Amino acid sequence: MPTYRWGINATGNIAGSMAEAMQHVPDAMLAAVSSRSQRKAQQFADRWSVPTAYDSYGALLADPSVDLIYIATPNALHKRNIVDALSAGKHVLCEKPLTTSSADTRDCIDLARRQGKFFYGGYVDSVFSNHRKSYRAHVLWRYWYAEAFDRKFYCLP
C-alpha cells in the first residue's frame, strides 16, 4: 500500500491526538502542518516530527507533497476549510461536526463528488471512548484506506 502524506490544519489538542495516532499507521506520513502563527506551527512540527510548518492554510493547500488534509479548526471554519481543500485537489478528513448546517454539509459532499475526492468526518463512537488512540490509529485508518482509496467510496453523513 502506498504512503499517504497528510497535512494538518490547526495545532490544538485534537490535532495533537491525530498526529500521535498517525505515528502508529505505517502507510501514513504527517508531511505538513499549518497554523495562523508560524511559531505555533513550528512548535507543533517540532513536537510531532513534521517536516514542514506553515503560517497559513493556503500555503498548506499549495504544498504538492500533501495528499490529504485533516481539518481540526473551530467548527465555524469547517465549511470554508473543506471547500478550500477540496478545491485545491486534496482529500479531506474533517473533525466533527463537518459543518454547522445540513445544507453546508450537502454542499461539501457535492463538491467532493464533483472533484472526485474523498471526504469524511472524524467521529468517535462512545464504544471506543476508552480506546481513542486505538480507534483512531486502527479502525478509522483501516476504513479510510480500504474504502476511500481502494474502492473510491464516499462517506455520507
Q: Considering only 31-45, 49-63, 69-83, 91-105, which range has the smallest mean pLDDT?
A: 91-105
Give the mean pLDDT of 137-148: 42
Give residue 121's pLDDT: 81
This prediction's pTM? 0.80
Fold of the 4-150 domain: Rossmann fold (3.40.50)
User: Measured between alpha carbons, how far is residue 141 from residues 26, 115, 137, 153 in Å?
Assistant: 10, 22, 6, 14
Identify the residue with better confidence: 127 or 24: 24
pLDDT at 61 over 70: yes
As annotated, the active-site residues are 96
pLDDT in tens, 89-113: 999 999 888 888 888 988 998 999 8
Across the range 35-58, mean pLDDT stands at: 97
Residue boundaries of the structural domains of the chain: 4-150
Whole-number pLDDT of residue 157: 33
Residue 152, exposed/middle/buried by CB under 10 A (0-12, 13-18, 19+)? exposed
7 forms beta bridges with 32, 69
CB 118 within 8 A of CB 148: yes
